[in-house]
Each structure stands twice: as structure tokens, then as C-alpha cells.
Structure 1
Amino acid sequence: MIDIRDVEVVAPNFKRRLSGVTSTIIQLVPVQRSLGQKVATLGPGLPADLPHIRYRDLWALWVPPRGKRFRVWHARRNIEMLPAILMRGMLRMPLKIVFTSASQRRHTGWTKWLISKMDAVIATSNKTADYLAVPNTVILHGIDTDRFSPPVEKAEAKRARGLDPMKKFVGCFGRVRHQKGTDVFVDSMIRLLPARPDWAAVVAGRATGPHVDFENGLKAKVAAAGLADRILFVGEHTDINEWYRALDLFIAPQRWEGFGLTPLEAMATALPVIATDVGAFPELLVTGDQETGVIIAGGSADAMIEAAASFMDNESRRHAAAARSRAHVLENFSIEGEAKRLGNIYRITASA
């Protein structure tokens, strides 16, 4: 618990189930606090060790934080914008409302109205910004480049995951479902691996509810191809950073994505990345002469096979892209950089 008088930014999370938004809050708030930003969370579904306030503390929002005229409320969902609008408008609380949008589709009239009432709007990508009808600032997500970092010794990283250290591995990480393109990855590997006995594939992630049958169908297809020992379904892992370290190539095969952190996590681990042209992926990778990877059409197994083969069969290209990937993320996508840019938005908004 934290004293509301010392809270300058409230980060609400009004959704109990874990989501990308929730994960962003969990990762960002400790970094923001380490940079001196007086941020506290509000709502369910968050770790107990995060600085937080209680719902009954909201009455104290009538009084601004020490030494400030306004407190910032940083919403990331409609259900978090609305109460702030009511508290600021009807209850006359000294609040400034910041909203972060990750949506890449046309907003409903209701959402447009809510966004129009914001004091500042942040877009998580240029593609997202294109769907906003109000002035906004683009701040792309960053990641923890200490957690996601290359292994000291690749063979040992593979042994630690129970993988053959003599083989090279290509991975696809994330929820197992049609939207995420897991089937395109599996179909591509079924066609690629028979001619490349030194390579194997890893699918890491969880299938839930109706997607369990989808995953079982993929496993059956792999078994029928005689590749059950080379296309591995390893499930969900909290130490996913260690699984990245065991890879030699990463593929993000999504058919649709709001933002998508997996390419950044892979590049930070010094991996070349093949990603589809969805979400923010084209804004994350560098292609061309200084490539960190390549962008391909979503849903196309042929495009994925061509791109993957070009890295699997060319060790020097793979290693060069891997080295550039790590440097690219360190320079442009650290979570500290994201937190600093958010801090600037808070400062400008609260002083306006």
C-alpha cells in the first residue's frame, strides 16, 4: 500500500484476466518508480508487490499530490477512461487523463467520444496513430534488455532446456491459436525440416478453451509427418527468456496483432527475426542492408518457407542479423526508454 498523497500518476487495471495491457503495467511500473516517477496501480489482477492504492482511496483524489496542481490518470481501456472523465467532470477532481491506444482498427463512436475527452493520447505504433482522430504521441513499447539477453554459451542454453546442443532451433512463441499463425509455422516446418536434419523447431505457448483442439490437430499433423521429435510443443513457461536463448532463429507468424513484443524479445536475445506484416512488426525490425530480419505476408506458408530457408541455409547472414538485432533493441526499444518518454508526457500534461 502507498500513501495517495505521494501518488502523482494512477495506472488503473480494471480487467482481472491477464492481458497484454496488464503485462505492460506489470513491467513498466517498477521501472517508472526506479526513475523517480510516483506511479501507483489500482485494480485487480496485479502482483501484490506493485505499489498500489485502494478503491476507497479514490475519494482522496480531490486533493492533488504534494507540490502539484493535478494528478495524472493513465488509462489504457475504455472502462478506465470513463470513470476518470466522471471524476474530473462531475466531481471536479484535479485530474489530467492520459490514454494509451494500441488498437489498429476504426474506433466505435463511443470510443471516439471517450478519446476526445482525453488530455493527452499515446499511440503504441504509427499504424495505431493512423486510426486516431485526435493529436497523439507515438511511444513504442520497450522491453527488459537485461532479462532478454544472449546466452553466455549457446550449447549450454540448449542443454538447460533439454534440447540437443548439436542442433539448431527455430522458435515460435505465444498463445497457440489460429490468430497467432501457429498453424502456418507448423506447416512451414513440416516442409522445411526433412531436408535440414541439423534443424528442429520449438512451439512455446498455451492453448486454452476452444484452441486446445486446434493445438491437438497441429500435433497430430506433426506426428503424421514423422516429425514429433523435431517439432516440439513445450507449453507455456514463465522463464521464456531462457527458451529464446536456446534458439538460432525466431519467427513471429501472427495473422493479426495489436503490438506484439515477441520480435523485440527475440532480437534482444540476439536472434534474427522473421515476422509477418501485422501489428507494429514492420516498425520493429530493420530490413535491407542492415537487416535484423525480414517482414513477410501474414498467413503465407510459402513466404515463411522462403524467408526461413534463407536464414537456415546461410550461417553468416544469420549471425550478422543476430548481432545487429541486439544493438538495435538496446538503442531503440529498452523499457527504460519507454518509461522516460511516458514520464515526459505526464510532466507536460500535468503542467498544462
Structure 2
Amino acid sequence: MRDVEIIAPNFKRRLSGVTSTIIQLIPYQVKLGVKIATLGPGLPAHLPRLRWTQLAGLWRPPIGHSHRIWHARRNNEMAFGLFLKRVLRMRLKLVFTSAAQRRHTGYTRWLIRQMDHVIATSTRSGSFLEVGHTVIQHGVDLELFHPPETAEDTIEATGLPGRYLVGCFGRVRHQKGTDLFVKAMIELLPKYPDWTAVISGRVTPEHAAFAEGLKSAIAAAGLVNRVVFLGEVPDIKVWYRRLTLYVAPSRNEGFGLTPLEAMASRTAVVASDAGAYAEMIEEGVNGSVVAGGDGNGLRRAIEPYLGDPERTILVGNTALAHVKENFDINREASALRAIYSKHTA
């Protein structure tokens, strides 16, 4: 415990965008020499972790420092860190990362004001904060997400019809705009027979009727073989590599990593302006951005990519170079290390 300088709590058992960020980021922080450990459920065994019984050790500072960092990403994690610091008088500095794209509740604003340092994941999320903050954008793991390398990374390996794949990944629900993607595909695919659409993601019970409605619309359009629901796949990374175009049609989002994962796989992207998508994409250079919830705008943005696959492939090449230069996860890990050093010196 005396060696642990940073604690990254994860107080949510189900996989979420925040949890995914922790899982991808911490190994790179460790490589940089950050002495960090997780706390909480829902995380893989390979990450360094603390047991709840070890929290008593927080009364003693880490070797060579006066404080530890408690890096929260959710309200309950902020509140628990504040309890440890203010009530139990443990030697902690509290850091919070905010990805929210909305005005915070009064309770959340109060919690944020108690933090020693606040980080926003995008300029847009920072605009909703009422305290000083540092913008550190998420990065993508370029070892996990990479361009096609083998025959397994091609549409031929899927057995699906056509020459090119366009995909939409994430939980199947209204918030994620899955219906906007399906509507666009129903209108566009009859005009572009070389393309097939794939949708991957969990359908929770409360959204089952929504998903069934989409499948019924696809069947009515006679496109069952060309708009395919994959469900939850064991490895989504290979599906990014199989795509020529990725669509992220969310109506609202926190940060949103999927466009970066697609671009790292050398795939062009059309996205809404939800989350930080508009800060990832240079319009017409490595993809296109449309207003969230604008189904007609989404269809119009997608069509030129379906109509000119060779250009779409070139845009994918540009997207890969853009991610390597601006969104390597090592950049995020290094920026966080600088924040930690400031508060543990």
C-alpha cells in the first residue's frame, strides 16, 4: 500500500464508457511509472488493484509524498473520496474527470467544487464546468486498434454479401441513434449494392421493443441480408478493421471513443456532433460531422462515402494518421501524470 500513489476507483460493475477508459488507460500509466491501483468491481484481473480492507492504509502517505491522489470519474466516487478526506482525515488530493455534455445538478456542482483538480475530456464538456479545469482528451490504444493485417480482417471473412461494410456499434437504443442509422441504410443500400451494413451492441430488456421495431422495418424493406444485427461480438476490434465506413449517430454522448477506435483501424467516420465527436473529426478530411438527431443530415453525409468507396478508403488513411498524431493513449497517460505530479510533490 505504501507504494500506491494514485487510486482509480470504479464504482460500477457493468461495463461502461468510463470503465472502458480505466481498463485501457491504466496499463499505459503503469508503463510510464505511475504507481496506480484500481478499487472496485467490474475490472479485469490484470490491472493492479486494492482490496477494500487496504483502505485503512490511506492514513499513511505513500513513500516520498505527503498525499495520494483519488482520481474519481463518477459522482459516487467523488463523494466517497470526499468522505475519506474530510471525515476520516485521510491524506488525499481529489481529482475528478468530467465528460458530461450538460449542465450539472446542484449536488454535482457542489461535489466538483470540493475537488483539488478538475479535468474535462473535451472543450465542450469543459464549457459546462463552473470551476477552473484542464482539458485532457481521451486517447485510443493503438496496439489494440490497428489497421487490417490478415484475411480475417476483411469482409470476405464474414460471409456477408457485398464488397464493403458500413457499421454502427454500441448499445442498441434511441440515445445511440441506432434508428437513425437503420433509416439511412434502408434509404441508401438499394442504391449501392456493393455495401452491407452491420450493427453490433447489447440490447437490454428495456430496449428490446425498440430493437424489434428496427428489425421489422429492415424486413419490410427487404434488406434482412444487408442490414445485419451481430449482437454482442467476442471481439469488436476485428469488426472495425472489416469496415470501410463507421457511423456514430448518437443523440447524446459523454466523450465517445468509438470514432477514434474506427479511425485507428483505418476506417472513415461519419458522426453526429454529440460528445467530443466534432473535436475528433476534421470535416471532409478524415470524416464528416452532422447535427445530433438529424436523420436526413446523417443520410446526406453518408451517401458520398457509399457512392465513392475509393475516396472513402483514402479518407480512412487520413483518419489513421490523424489519430496517431493527436489521440494516442500515451498522450493522455502523460498528461495525467503531469497533473498527478503537481499534487503529490
Are 2:7 and 1:13 aligned? Answer: no
Distance 2:51 2:130 in 1: 34
Determine helix, strand or coil for the equivalent of 1:179.
Answer: coil
Amino acid at match of 1:81: M
Distance 1:331 1:128 in 2: 22
Amino acid at match of 2:274: V
- 1:215 to partner: Cα distance: 0.8
1:181-330 equivalence runs, <5 A: 181-288=177-284, 291-330=285-324
Determine helix, strand or coil for the equivalent of 2:13.
Answer: coil
Distance 1:125 1:156 in 2: 32
Runs of 4+ aligned residues of structure 1 deviating over 4 Å after TM superposition are: 153-156
- 1:299 to partner: Cα distance: 2.0
Assess if the C-alpha contact under 8 Å between 1:154 and 1:246 holds in 2: no
Amino acid at match of 1:258: G
Amino acid at match of 1:327: A
Per-residue CA deviations over 1:262-312 (Å, capped at 9, x if unaligned) read: 110111111111000111110011114xx1001012222221221111111
Amino acid at match of 2:330: E
Determine helix, strand or coil for the equivalent of 2:254.
Answer: coil
Assess if the C-alpha contact under 8 Å between 2:155 and 2:164 holds in 1: no
Gaps (5+ residues) in structure 1? none
Are 2:339 and 1:342 aligned? Answer: no
- 1:155 to partner: Cα distance: 8.0
From 53, 57, 77, give the equivalent of 1:60. Answer: 57
Distance 1:271 1:49 in 2: 30
Distance 1:110 1:331 in 2: 38
Assess if the C-alpha contact under 8 Å between 2:218 and 2:224 holds in 1: yes
Amino acid at match of 1:215: A
Amino acid at match of 1:41: T
Determine helix, strand or coil for the equivalent of 2:316.
Answer: helix
Distance 1:188 1:155 in 2: 28
Task: Please identify, of 121-130 and 108-117, the stretch whose mean Cα deviation from structure 2 is larger.
Answer: 108-117
Residue of structure 2 in register with 1:73 after alignment: 70
Amino acid at match of 1:55: W
Per-residue CA deviations over 1:290-349 (Å, capped at 9, x if unaligned) read: x10010122222212211111111234312211110011011111111111111110112
Determine helix, strand or coil for the equivalent of 1:23.
Answer: helix
Are 2:45 and 1:51 aligned? Answer: no
Distance 2:14 2:300 in 1: 38
1:31-180 equivalence runs, <5 A: 31-152=28-149, 157-164=154-161, 166-180=162-176
Amino acid at match of 1:348: K
Per-residue CA deviations over 1:119-143 (Å, capped at 9, x if unaligned) read: 1000011111001111100111111
Report the TM-score when normalising by structure 2.
0.96
Assess if the C-alpha contact under 8 Å between 2:202 and 2:231 holds in 1: yes
Assess if the C-alpha contact under 8 Å between 1:161 and 1:243 holds in 2: no
Task: Please identify, of 310-319 and 34-43, the stretch whose mean Cα deviation from structure 2 is larger.
Answer: 310-319
Task: Please identify, of 43-52 and 123-132, the stretch whose mean Cα deviation from structure 2 is larger.
Answer: 43-52
Determine helix, strand or coil for the equivalent of 2:102.
Answer: coil
- 1:157 to partner: Cα distance: 2.1
Distance 1:322 1:225 in 2: 30
Distance 1:156 1:77 in 2: 36
Are 2:27 and 1:30 aligned? Answer: yes
Distance 2:20 2:149 in 1: 27
Task: Please identify, of 265-274 and 84-93, the stretch whose mean Cα deviation from structure 2 is larger.
Answer: 84-93
Assess if the C-alpha contact under 8 Å between 1:7 and 1:40 holds in 2: yes
Distance 1:32 1:196 in 2: 45
Distance 2:299 2:11 in 1: 41
Amino acid at match of 2:36: V
Gaps (5+ residues) in structure 2? none
Assess if the C-alpha contact under 8 Å between 2:263 and 2:323 holds in 1: yes
Determine helix, strand or coil for the equivalent of 1:192.
Answer: helix
Amino acid at match of 1:322: G
Assess if the C-alpha contact under 8 Å between 1:154 and 1:245 holds in 2: no
Assess if the C-alpha contact under 8 Å between 2:189 and 2:195 holds in 1: yes
Cα RMSD, aligned residues only: 1.4
